[in-house]
Chains A and B, each alone.
Chain A
Amino acid sequence: MSLLSVRDLTVKFAMRDDTVTALNQISFDLAKGERLGIVGESGAGKSITGFSLMNLISKPGFIDNGQILFDGEDVAQMSDKALRDMRGNRMAMIFQDPMVTLNPVLTIGQQMVETLRAHRKLSKAEAAQIAIVKLREVYIPSPEERMDQYPHELSGGMRQRIIIAMALLLDPQLIIADEPTTALDVTIQADIMELLLELCQSNKVGLILITHDLGVVSQMTERTLVMYAGRIIEAGKTREIINDPQHPYTQGLINALPQQTLPGQKLKQIPGTMPSLTAIPRGCPFSPRCQYAVENCRNTLPEVVQYAGIEVACHEVKRLHNDRLEQSA
């Protein structure tokens, strides 16, 4: 059985004038210990997906339809107590900005001990011992001293490692990391990603990694979801999606990377921009920007189909794939 099962999840926001759909019929599964990447451009619905899993959607947002099963339990039906238990103990979220999670007026030690004691029967001293072990696991130098420091006394990289330590505190089964390193430098980003990967692998922790960096997804995850305008438009094995993307939007994203073009040459840009939620086009949401769009694309929404081992929502996937095969032959 999968650890997480999301079915037809639809999340809406009640705005002043009308209601917008931020997530539209999202379905996916995550096995125990599996690492999944979610990519897509700004506003595609990546963070809202993460928040929904934690049941953190609040007004004006609401879950309009669909189901989230975590370890067989329906998240929407959970009591407050069960929810609190799930959020701390079994599922943890790492945010882009560590200061969202860290309380600026408490020391690192106080925050970790408090979190531990809220969920487990432990003395302060016992909790502190566990906290120090966790800090050491994320390579925080002299963890005993760090326990007495305040968040602002630490560097950004160290803060993010402490956040990871806090996420691991209660040995969760799933970590949701929303752009955990965009605020950090490449060298520190690489350290933190490697650490996260190591910890997930050795403790069999599942990971949902939200990012716009395809390089990071490639190194960290086994499967990837590509989102566009609130929908999943492509899903499959990360390696296959990166090597041979089937959806024109995913192809566009990968081709637009500077690595895909010789230095100094014009980059292959995707024309236009993602539609705002108040003006999602009819038919395929990508059709105004898609160079392969045909009449049908502008009228009917493409359903998700299995193609070449990948799930993809594109009417023309077969024709386009055959064209590519012909071209390369």
Chain B
Amino acid sequence: MNDLMLDQPILQLKGLEKRFDLDQGFLETVKLRKGKFVREQRSVHAVNNVTLDVARGEALCVVGESGCGKSTVARLVAGLLHPSAGEIHYDGERIDDRSRKSMLPLRKKMQMIFQNPYASLNPRMTIQQALEEPVRHHNPLLSRGEVREKVADVMQSVGVDPLWSGRYPHEFSGGQRQRIAIARALTVDPEFIIADEPISALDVSIQAQVLNLMLDAKEQRGLTYLFITHDLSVVEHFGTKVAVLYLGAVCELAETTTLFANPKHPYTKALLSAVPQLNDDKPNHIRLKGEIPTPINMPSGCPFHTRCPSANNRCMTEKPRPLRQPDGSTVACHAVEENRA
């Protein structure tokens, strides 16, 4: 491999957009505008012009409030959804316009883990069957013995006794199930893992087990992660880089240490101040006033202006562009640009 390839980001999102058209009856889409009837399709603007790179070995965390488009980004990258506009490049090759079939070789390199451990495992398959399936599928030449061996290795590596391979998912606890789901993703030696809130449904004590497992895989196999979460303490611990989403747009993108030490976007500041601290008697977070907009009725200008404490007239009409800051972060905010945030 030459240097050029090493430097190339493993994943690139370029102006990514996703709209979902709302189901409406024909009559509901017909509106009277300036004396004329026109057809208007209402849609959810779930992802809006997202541009970012993920370097090899990096753990990019995507954070933001419920409905801001985190899962949609993950599903777009995994090829489970097609973008409305924009491009996705993997290893330098465009993948968003591929058919399901031509995505297959990529499936092995790229694995997805979901929030709900029930959703990731088929309830009617034993753990052995669930783990064997992807190994066989991606390595058709392995003998039965080799497949068994590989499955046992993987179970061991996630701390689940291979003797239990004949059990069904419901016979395991949530944490064990999620570790098995991760094991399943690891069986095919992927290089890229998309994890959509993999630990949110788990207890604190179990979250640590699963997070450790993912950290191990990162170190030992040099994995790259796209990690979706709403827990900022997990981000600070696990992420190398953070993208903060608001209404489907990236408002701040920075190295994790930079973001936590020096958040710049007003939304990022509010988000960080809202994290309840262990050694703090009083909440002292930035209280956001104003209406929370929906991705159906997108506000004009900056998507955050209805709640932003620094909003001015410009914010209501002009969309802020992502601008590179001296410390390497990228921020989309007029106040930051004007040095008044």
Q: Which residues of A contact B (CB under 8 A)?
A: 41-42, 141, 155-157, 184-191, 193-194, 197, 212-216, 218-219, 239, 242-243, 252-254, 256-259, 261, 263-264, 266-270, 273-274
Contacts and interface: CB of A to CB of B under 8 A. Distances in A.
Interface in B191-246: 203-209, 211-212, 215-216, 230, 232-234, 236-238
Nearest to A142: B291
B135 interface: no
Contacts of B211: 258, 267
B198 to A, nearest CB: 14
Contact of B271 (A186, A213, A214): A186
A194 B285 contact: yes
Given A263-B236, A269-B209, A187 B274 contact: yes
A185 B208 contact: no
A157 B292 contact: yes
Interface of B: 65-66, 173-176, 203-209, 211-212, 215-216, 230, 232-234, 236-238, 256-257, 270-271, 273-283, 285, 287-288, 291-292, 294
A156 B65 CA distance: 12
A219 B281 contact: yes
B203 A259 contact: no
Contacts of A157: 292
B212 A269 contact: yes
Contacts of A270: 205, 208
A213 B276 contact: yes
Nearest to B277: A215
Contact of A187 (B256, B271, B281): B271
13 contacts: A157-B292, A191-B288, A194-B287, A215-B275, A215-B278, A218-B277, A218-B278, A256-B204, A256-B205, A258-B238, A261-B237, A263-B238, A269-B208
Nearest to B291: A141
Given A156-B66, A187-B65, A253 B232 contact: no
Nearest to A194: B283
Nearest to B218: A264
A261 B208 CA distance: 11
B209 to A, nearest CB: 5
A188 B65 contact: yes
A136 to B, nearest CB: 14
B279 A185 contact: no
Nearest to B270: A187
Contacts of A252: 205
A197 B280 CA distance: 14
Given A41-B206, A187-B274, A257-B233, 10 more contacts: A41-B205, A188-B65, A218-B278, A242-B278, A253-B205, A256-B208, A264-B215, A266-B216, A267-B212, A269-B212
A253 B204 contact: yes
A58 B193 CA distance: 44
B234 A258 contact: yes
Given A194-B283, A212-B203, A267-B237, A187 B215 contact: no
Contacts of A264: 215, 237-238
A190 B285 contact: yes
Nearest to A155: B292
B90 to A, nearest CB: 26
A187 B173 contact: no
Contact of A191 (B205, B282, B287): B287
Contacts of B233: 257-259
A269 B279 CA distance: 21
Nearest to A184: B66
A218 B65 contact: no
Contacts of A215: 275-278
A269 B173 CA distance: 16
Contacts of B292: 155, 157, 188
Contacts of B203: 41-42, 212, 274
A56 to B, nearest CB: 24
B213 to A, nearest CB: 10
Given A41-B203, A253-B204, A185 B66 contact: yes
A44 to B, nearest CB: 9
Contacts of A268: 208
A269 B205 contact: yes
Contacts of A214: 204, 278
A257 B203 CA distance: 11
Nearest to A249: B205
Q: Which 5 A-B pairs have the closest CB atoms?
A: A215-B276, A185-B65, A258-B237, A190-B274, A269-B208
A219 B66 contact: no
A155 B288 CA distance: 15
Contacts of A254: 278
Nearest to B276: A215
A253 B316 CA distance: 45
A189 B274 contact: yes
Nearest to A157: B292
A290 B278 CA distance: 24
B156 to A, nearest CB: 16
A93 B232 CA distance: 29
B212 A185 contact: no
Nearest to B216: A266
A214 B208 CA distance: 15
A187 B286 CA distance: 8
Nearest to A188: B65
